[in-house]
Chains A and B, each alone.
Chain A
């Protein structure tokens, strides 16, 4: 079973920041937080991951709370092409290798 909880759906206006929350209250000290997204009928796309520090790359920023029980994925300037299902996953790096996906958050970016 997935170890994360995400809202089923969210809406965002084009050009605004999209903030996608994820709860992972049972996360272990050696588990990373990964984010993937899946645009309709395509394979999941890796976005970002982190352990405890905030992370930023060309796609997004990941903010992890100090207690590591929740995190937020931030898309700073959402575009219509960011409409997708976003999955938050916790996983031990180098441990059990599989990714356990929940149902994710369906983000709709509106013009």
Chain B
């Protein structure tokens, strides 16, 4: 397995701009998760997909945020009209249930967003 990859690793944008992040899960993992982490805090759950279906969304996911996983493989997270409060690390994780590991989530390196 090549692990979960995220692109870009860093993004600096101006307030009001739209940004899109991509996550490529571990091959054949059917579950994909997005989390957000601000400085000094643990990651907070945003949303979860099983295959292409978005099954759960946190109330943190305002209407400016949208996530997709169109073919059940990679996923994108878009933030429209960014605000300075959106500055954070955006983490992606994936899992696939096995008898040995359960549905352990494996994380990518994250995308660090800075909104000026």
Chain A positions near chain B (C-beta within 8 angstroms): 2, 32, 34, 36, 41-46, 49, 85, 87, 93-94, 96-104
Please name 14 further chain A to chain B contacts, defined as beta carbons within 8 Å, in addition to the given A94-B103, A98-B58, A101-B44, sorted by A numbering. A41-B112, A43-B91, A44-B43, A44-B93, A46-B104, A46-B106, A49-B102, A93-B102, A98-B45, A98-B48, A98-B56, A99-B45, A99-B105, A101-B43
B109 within 8 A of A: yes
Q: Which 3 A-B pairs have CB atoms at the shortest separation, nearest pair first? A: A101-B42, A43-B107, A98-B45
Residues of B within 8 A of A46 (CB): 104-107
Contact B42 A43 (CB under 8 A): no
B25 within 8 A of A: no
Residues of A within 8 A of B40 (CB): 103
Residues of B within 8 A of A98 (CB): 33, 45, 48, 56, 58
| Contact pick for A87, options B31, B42, B45, B56, CB 8 Å | B42
Contact B56 A97 (CB under 8 A): yes
The smallest beta-carbon distance between A45 and chain B, in angstroms, is 7
Residues of B within 8 A of A44 (CB): 43, 91, 93, 107
B62 within 8 A of A: no
Kindly state the separation between the CA atoms of A97 and B53 in the bound complex, as whole angstroms. 14
Contact B110 A42 (CB under 8 A): yes
| Contact pick for A94, options B44, B56, B97, B108, CB 8 Å | B97
Which of B4, B33, B42 has the most A CB atoms < 10 Å from its CB?
Answer: B42
Contact A103 B105 (CB under 8 A): no
Which of A43, A44, A98, A100 has the most B CB atoms < 10 Å from its CB?
Answer: A43
Residues of A within 8 A of B106 (CB): 46
Q: Find the B residue at minimum CB distance from A51.
A: B102
Q: Find the B residue at minimum CB distance from A94.
A: B103
Residues B9-60 near A (CB distance < 8 A):
31, 33, 35, 40-45, 48, 55-56, 58
